[in-house]
Amino acid sequence: MTYRVTSGRIVIAMVCGLLLLLTANGLAAQEATEVPAAPVIVTSEPFEVTFGAGPFDLLQPAEGLADLSSYRATLTVSFEGTNAGAAQAWARTYTLTVTGDPPARQLTIEGAGDEAGQIYMAEISGTHYEQQEGESCFGSPTQAGNTLAETWELAALLDSVIGADEAGSEAVNGIPSSHYTFNQSALGLSDRVEASGELWIASDGGYLVRYTLTTTGGAAYFGEGIDGTLTWDYQINDVGSPLVIELPADCPPAMLDFPMLPDAADVIQSPGVTSYNTLTNLDDTLAFYQEQVSALGGQPVDAPLFTHSAVFFGFTLDNQSILMVAKSDLAGTMIDLYQLSDSAPLAILAEVPDEGGSQPEPTAASSAIAACEPGTSSVPVTADATSIQDMGVAISYMTSMNITDITTFYEEQLTAIGAQVSPQGAASEFMAMLNVTQNNQSYMIMISPMGGTTNVAITSLTGQMTFTACTPEGAASAATEVPPDTAPATADEGCPRGVLPLMPDATDIQEVAALGAINYTTAASVPEVATFYKEKFAELDAQVFDQMPATDSMASPMFMIENQPIVVAITASGDGSTSVSISVMGGNPFRGAAPCANAP
């Protein structure tokens, strides 16, 4: 069969694959997800190419595979010959598993005669996973145009065949098939190599069941200095079988496929975590997620923790445990969705029972109690860490350090205890993210500004890591003791510095010390409570800002103590009492809360 080419182009996909495999001794591990573009041979004059004389053409080797519900394909490529006069032999086996319900793919690459070792890739629920032998599994969002289906369909790596000869019918791998044979002519390479091949096409479905090709050539085909025999063996098995794709144990969770607010901006997604900013207030944010959970058939784990500056809402959906954290400041609301390994950490509401005005014991400013030791799950926190919240699989805290300094802190401290740290994208003045592998586990550190300080959120990506906050050796301990002369006072004494003042008759006290949030009820009027806090914070040299005109039913003064915003929301209740919600935004400079005397 002879073709006269007038367009000046012949695309020969397999030649590119062969040259890459030979000159680089196969795919390098760091290029495992890339498939070389097919070369284009361009001429200025028309020319003729003679192909095989048989009746069958295989123009698209991957045709028909998209119609299969599941299958497992295997491709083995091997070479034996010489390179620059030295003996060379290698083999590589690619195994691709495909399922349609749910849609998922898994690829393993195993080599002999090279140093790459095994490479593992998979795509499940919008998440691309990859692991090289001896290293931890990591995940990232799938990228349109670069999915496994688009770049690693093994049949698509095979060369087209034009003019193959019929060779009867037979069953291959249990699949009734039509058999064909071909040589170098069917590849359009009659004057460059000697080749022989066979292929089998499924009688039902028309997809390629098996393809073998042995090619012997020299520099004219393989490149300068290379001579030998290259063998390809492709076959498909388990068509329509109930195949299961299992990820390595240390792979992170899949991407969270959960609704975001309509005005979501600055979206950042990584396995198990979705973060974004919104102008939606906290009330509407909580209402939105409660509606979504109900509509999708999920279940709240506990009542949401709602303060003036933050909302914590835990729920389960499709066997996933998810924590929604929304934190508000003057610039808007930052929302984080975390997938956790179980629902236990989602029950986060902490309530201080009313004990007739008795006060809580003083709390330390930090839970950092362990030494940072190699080979453990201890995670360093900065020496000035405050507002530490430890949920086992996640830690968050506030620090006065800036994003650049915190990034440097973690790169140095984690490397010192044997962890591997890599940035996820370029850091900016608004956010930095670090991926960390430590003690065969993976986690993420998200660093972002909040109210003049900086928030650090550390989240496990494997769902198996339980963190222990630690203070780096040589650093000043963040867990400071409360001096005796600043211990909380009784209800008939004044509040010393370091204790957040409450009205003397405070009842129904709810305190989340790690968040710097306190809610309580008082019989005083809204103006009386506002006057009380203006006087108390004036004693601490605080600046006062009235965010809105105060009325008899509502006031919301904001105080600034050394660039530390504190918001007091005061609201009259229908029963004649007044509700007070205090939110210390950023680091919490107080070591506890207590009712204080000398109220107006």
Question: What is the extent of the structural domain holding 426?
Answer: 370-471
Nearest 5 degrees, angle CA 88-CA 92-CA 94?
A: 165
Q: Tell me, what's the pLDDT at 576?
A: 84
Domain shared by 82 and 217, yes or no? yes
Instruction: Tell me, yes or no, whether 203 and 269 share the same domain.
Output: no
pLDDT at 110 over 50: yes
CATH number of the structural domain spanning residue 517: 3.30.310
Q: Are residues 19 and 132 in the same domain?
A: yes
* Same domain, yes or no: 128 and 232: yes
Is 443 part of a structural domain of the chain? yes
254 lies in some domain:
no
For 58-103, write each residue's pLDDT tens digit: 999 999 999 999 999 999 999 999 999 899 999 999 999 999 888 8
Say if residue 60 is in the same domain as residue 123: yes
189-222: pLDDT as tens digits: 877 789 999 999 999 999 999 999 999 999 888 8
Task: Supply the mean pLDDT for the chain.
Answer: 76
Asked if 393 and 466 touch (Cβ cutoff 8 Å), the reply is yes
Joined tokens for residue 431: 């956010």
Residues 298 and 377 both lie in one domain: no
Report yes or no on 242 lying in a domain: no
Distance of alpha carbon 125 from alpha carbon 103, whole angstroms: 8
Please report, for the domain that includes residue 334, its CATH number.
3.30.465
* 479 within a domain of the structure (yes/no): no
Condensed to tens digits (0 to 9), the pLDDT of residues 256-302 reads: 888 999 988 888 877 778 888 888 888 899 999 999 999 999 988 87
pLDDT of 39 above 70: no
Same domain? 34 vs 113: yes
Buried b (16+ CB within 10 A) or exposed e, 285-298: bbebbbebbeeeeb
Task: Note the pLDDT tens digit of each residue in 445-465.
Answer: 888 766 557 778 787 765 555
Q: Give, in degrees to the nearest 5, the angle at Cα 442 between 115 and 144.
A: 75
Are 41 and 80 contained in the same domain? yes
Do 233 and 95 sit in the same domain of this protein? Answer: yes
> Based on the structure, what is the number of domains in the chain?
4
Q: Is residue 122 part of a domain?
A: yes
Examine the domain organization and report whether 115 and 175 are in the same domain: yes
Q: Give the whole-angstrom CA distance, residue 60 versus residue 197.
A: 16
Among candidates 90, 70, 74, which has minimal Cα distance to 82? 90
Does residue 356 sit within a domain?
A: no
**33 and 136 share a domain?**
yes
- Residue indicated by tokens 């098996």: 210
Q: Report the distance separating Cα 523 and Cα 504, nearest Å.
A: 10
Query: Where on the phi/psi map is residue 227: left (φ > 0), alpha (ψ -120 to 50), or beta?
Result: beta
- Under the banding of pLDDT at 50, 70 and 90, the label for residue 343 is low
Does the residue 250 lie in any domain?
A: no
What integer pLDDT is reported at residue 145 of this predicted model?
Answer: 83
CA nearest to 240, candidates 204, 212, 201, 199: 204
Query: Regarding predicted confidence, which is higher, 389 or 122?
Result: 122
Residues 337 and 214 in one domain: no
Residue 360 domain flag:
no
Question: What ranges make up the beta strands (E) of 117-272?
Answer: 119-124, 127-132, 138-141, 161-172, 175-183, 194-202, 208-217, 226-237, 265-270
Q: For residues 500 and 533, is the Cβ–Cβ distance under 8 A? A: no
What confidence score (pLDDT) does residue 4 get? 41
